[in-house]
A = this chain, B = another copy of it.
Amino acid sequence: MSADDRPIRNVLFIMCDQLRWDYLSCYGHPVLQTPAVDELARRGVRFDAAYVQSPVCVPSRMSFYSGRYVSSHGATWNHVPFPVGQLTLGDHLARAGREAILAGKTHVIPDVASLERLGLPRDSREARMRLDGGFGELDRYDGHSPPGTESGYADYLRRHGYDSRDPWTEFVVGGVDPAGGRAEGWLLRNAHLPARVAEAHSETAYMTDRALAFMREQGDRPWVLHLSYIKPHWPLMAPAPYHAMYRDADTGRIVKADPATENAHPVLQAYRKAHDDCRSYAREDVVRHVRPTYMGLVKQVDDHLRRVIDYLDESGRAKDTLVVFTADHGDHLGDHGLGEKELFYEQAVRVPMIVVDPRASADRTRGSASDAFVEGIDVVPTVLDALGLDAARHVVEGRSLQPLLHGEGVAGWRDAVFSELDYAFRDARHVLGRPVDQCRGWMVRTRRWKYVHWQGLRPQLFDLQHDPDELVDLGDAPGRGLDAVRAEMKDRLLEWHSARKVRTTVDEATVVRRTEDWRGNGLFIGVW
């Protein structure tokens, strides 16, 4: 090993919430400049075809944290507890005596019922780990309700003069309207107003402070840190000056299909009809009002990432730290007549993914872009690989990105990505009259096609070569060519289901060791 190729000792796994891949300058945004993220891209590999395992926070994050598809970990939507038996990055690190530390959001819904059934005291170390999805808590803050005792943010705010029982609601997601009255950050109409909190005390600033303090305190001790920003997720209210930075900027086109040719799928129709966000974002004035705030929140994250990069450089940690930058899903921001996320349009399922491997072995890919299909489940195996730890192949379904980072070629790399949705908790279920256990959809996306299999409803199909904006649904379009495509996509889904790792309680070495081990255990079966 040369002096320039010291091993990776630390991992900084940065996640944004609801950050579309194309709202970063290195991914081509024409207006929004994000020099810090661009700097990461220059130092590593920018993956241009990165997809999440569900276009919703909890299922996507549990896939990031477990390295497993949603059907394998079972937390299919935001209200679904993460099953007690599921292993996460923290568990895999713990086997090697290491720990994954959390600063920010995980959105783990703990499986309290199972902990109680198992008689586990809530305050045991093991139960705490389950409650936090396997992370050790530095500061857990999910960001869509007032911070609880697992975060220091509320106390921090009070110490800095935000005198309130609930300083988050009052100052962080609260603004002042022109008449001096209270402006609720929950309402899109207030997106142009500044938050009452000072930028230096805002969520993004606070969590960056916490992460920096942790890294400094660690000194030379190795660490794995998940720095998980809530932004640019709603409530859409930015602190000054970010609230106004893009107020007059070009907010881009709004992708809209021609209703006459769109062939809108029943689930799509139900979303548009039933959900607040879709009704709001269907209005162009709303979209134009909101996008500048979203851009400002992204810009703010980028500015704080600069502080993180500077720390890594100044401390020397840049040389032995693997950095992953990604998001849990995107945001339609009015495209396709939709707000928020869910469904399987590129705006929702495609995310930025940048990985910086500082080792000399990654030099030849440094600053390059890769169009290899990567998935959220690849982060855990990439981290384990970088740290030289056991890959837990009997549990982890993702693939280490290291061969791609080291330019070792992509022969045999995956040629499709998969994502899942469970809309049972949404009004769309009522609109469609579906039973609560039959509201699931599965996307398979190849280079050319995106196919979605919906329970009890016709599939969706988009030809991404001729229709990259996904404006014409060919799910039930006639034609033998399309029949063949749909049959192939179903075959791919069947193979995907067949490959799910359900045998998680024995590792592969044990399977090998115990193959035909009857006689060694005194059993003679069928021996004459």
Cross-interface CB contact of A145 among B84, B502, B516, B523, cutoff 8 Å: B523
Residue numbers in B under 8 Å from A75 (CB-CB): 503, 505
Q: CB of A276 within 8 A of chain B?
A: yes
Closest Cβ–Cβ distance, residue A525 to chain B (whole Å): 6
B interface footprint on A276-306 (CB within 8 Å = 1, 0 otherwise) = 1111110100100000000000000000000
| Interface of chain A residues 473 through 528 with chain B (CB within 8 A) | 487, 490-491, 493-494, 497-506, 508, 510-512, 514-516, 521-528
Do A393 and B437 have beta carbons less than 8 Å apart? yes
Beta-carbon contact of A498 and B120 below 8 Å: no
Per-residue CB contact flags for chain A residues 61-74 toward chain B (1 = under 8 Å, else 0) read 00000000011101
- Pick from A91, A512, A526 the residue with the most CB of B within 10 Å: A526
Contact of A528 among B144, B188, B494, B506 (CB under 8 A): B188
Tell me, yes or no, whether A189 is within 8 Å of chain B by CB.
yes
> Please, how many angstroms separate the alpha-carbon atoms of A424 and B512 in the complex?
8
Query: B114, B487, B500, B506: which contacts A71 (Cβ < 8 A)?
Result: B500
A394 at the B interface (CB under 8 A): yes
Q: Which residue of B119, B124, B501, B523 contacts A144 across the interface (Cβ within 8 Å)?
A: B523
Q: Does A366 contact B (CB under 8 A)?
A: no
Asked if A74 and B505 make an inter-chain contact with CB atoms under 8 angstroms apart, the answer reads yes
Collect the chain B residues with CB atoms within 8 Å of residue A504's CB: 74, 83
Cβ-defined contact, B91 with A117, below 8 A: yes
Whether A275 is near chain B, meaning CB under 8 Å from some CB there, is yes
Residues of B near A255 (CB, < 8 A) are: none
A130 lies within 8 A of B114 (CB): no
Complex: A424 Cα to B394 Cα, angstroms: 12
Cα(A103)–Cα(B510), bound, Å:
30
Q: Would you give the 0/1 interface string for A40-77, flagging 1 where the beta carbon is closer than 8 Å to chain B?
A: 00000000000000000000000000000011101111
Which of B76, B113, B277 is within 8 Å of A502, CB to CB? B76
Residue pair A526, B340 in contact (C-beta under 8 Å): yes
Decide if A125 is an interface residue (CB 8 Å cutoff): yes
Interface string of A430-458 (1 = CB under 8 A from B): 10000011101010000000000101000
Most buried by B among A79, A438, A491: A79
A84 to chain B: closest residue by CB: B85
Hey, which chain B residues are within 8 Å of A113, CB to CB?
505
Which of A118, A189, A514 is the most central at the interface, judged by chain B CB atoms within 10 Å of its CB?
A118
Contact of A118 among B120, B188, B436, B526 (CB under 8 A): B120
CB distance from A111 to the nearest CB of B (A): 5
Taking CB atoms, residues of chain B closer than 8 Å to A184 are 524
The reply to whether the CB of A136 lies closer than 8 angstroms to some CB of chain B is no
What is the bound-complex CA distance between A490 and B491, given in angstroms? 8
B437/A394 in contact, CB under 8 A = yes
A311 contacts partner chain B, Cβ-Cβ < 8 Å: no
Give the B-binding residues of A (Cβ under 8 A).
70-72, 74-77, 79-86, 91, 111, 113-114, 117-120, 124-127, 130, 144-145, 184, 186-189, 234, 275-281, 283, 286, 339-340, 393-394, 422, 424-427, 429-430, 436-438, 440, 442, 453, 455, 487, 490-491, 493-494, 497-506, 508, 510-512, 514-516, 521-528
5 tightest A-B CB contacts, nearest first? A277-B526, A85-B85, A497-B497, A119-B126, A81-B505
